Amino acid sequence: MDSPEVTFTLAYLVFAVCFVFTPTEFHSAGLTVQNLLSGWLGSEDAAFVPYHLRRTSATLLCHSLLPLGYYVGMCFAASEKQLYSLSQAPEAWRLFLLLAVTLPTIASTLIYYWSCDQWARHPLARTLALYALPQSGWRAVASSVNTEFRRIDKFATGAPGARVIVTDTWVMKVTTYRVHAARQQDVHLTVTGSRQHALSADSSLPVQLLTIHVASASPGVRAFDIRLNSTEYGELCEKLRAPIRSAANVVIHQSLGDLFLETFASLVEVNPTYSVPSSQVGVAAGLGTQYGVGPISRAL
């Protein structure tokens, strides 16, 4: 490929990755599905469930259009290949175009299926329907979720692609394409693992990330995992009604002091052992006796 093709390919690849995973810079610039389609999506605070019914569908469709956008861009970046003419385009590019058209077609068909019967077939609506009373439907449960989400005492944390929300009744995880939900009184929560980082992405302080498995006793409700900072663990426990079990090998550090001691101890363990010469041992013993520290019983 010549220079324009390489330049466009690299630039579009960076854009596509950032558009899907949305780093902080893209959020600040407003280059997200939520911001670009905010007029149609509505407000999350006003109507949590309808907002995410539309958001997950719009996100799926927009992401499925990325390969087609690349093909259209290559029609201009590599005009000598005549990609705009199917009869003259190379066979490999015709196959790529077929794939690029197939993806949004499948996504559109799936979204249409979800939207039938006023979104009753959407995965979120089907999950809420499992908690509906016989004389009511999933919309009654959705109304309850909307009301609880508007309250200021909810627990909410996490990145936009993996948010954790806990209300008085619900434990929810909001991801790019799906919203997991489970009722508090039916869930079993277990801390299954932890990962400690010397530096966090937002500050220069150490951070411990906990992985909590959320399993519902209600049949048909899929289990899911949530991740959060260990310093937020206490606030999460205050909002939950059910206790959180912890695996035997997981130690939770709920303060920066605990994290500092753990990090310091791990650094000490990897340091090489220093052997003290016998001449220095005698000097140290004499100083200890002089200042009332006591004799040194062992030297390395």
Q: Across the chain, what does the average pLDDT equal?
A: 84
Q: How many CB atoms lie within 10 A of CB 59?
A: 22
pLDDT of residue 214: 95
pLDDT at position 258 is 53
Burial 177-215 (b: 16+ CB within 10 A, else e): ebbbbbbbeebebbbeebeeeeeeeeeeebbbebbbbbe
pLDDT at 156 over 70: yes
Distances in Å between the Cα of 48 and the Cα atoms of 21, 22, 222 are: 22, 21, 20
Domain residue spans of the chain: 3-126, 152-258
The Cα–Cα gap between 154 and 245 comes to: 22
User: Are the CB atoms for 108 and 61 separated by under 8 Å?
Assistant: yes
Residue 180's nearest CA partner among 111, 230, 232, 227 is: 227
pLDDT at 106 over 90: yes
- Whole-prediction pTM value? 0.80
The domain made up of 152-258 is a member of CATH 2.30.29.30:
yes
Q: CB-based contacts of 282: which residues, under 8 Å, 6+ apart?
A: none
Stretch 69-75: mean pLDDT: 93
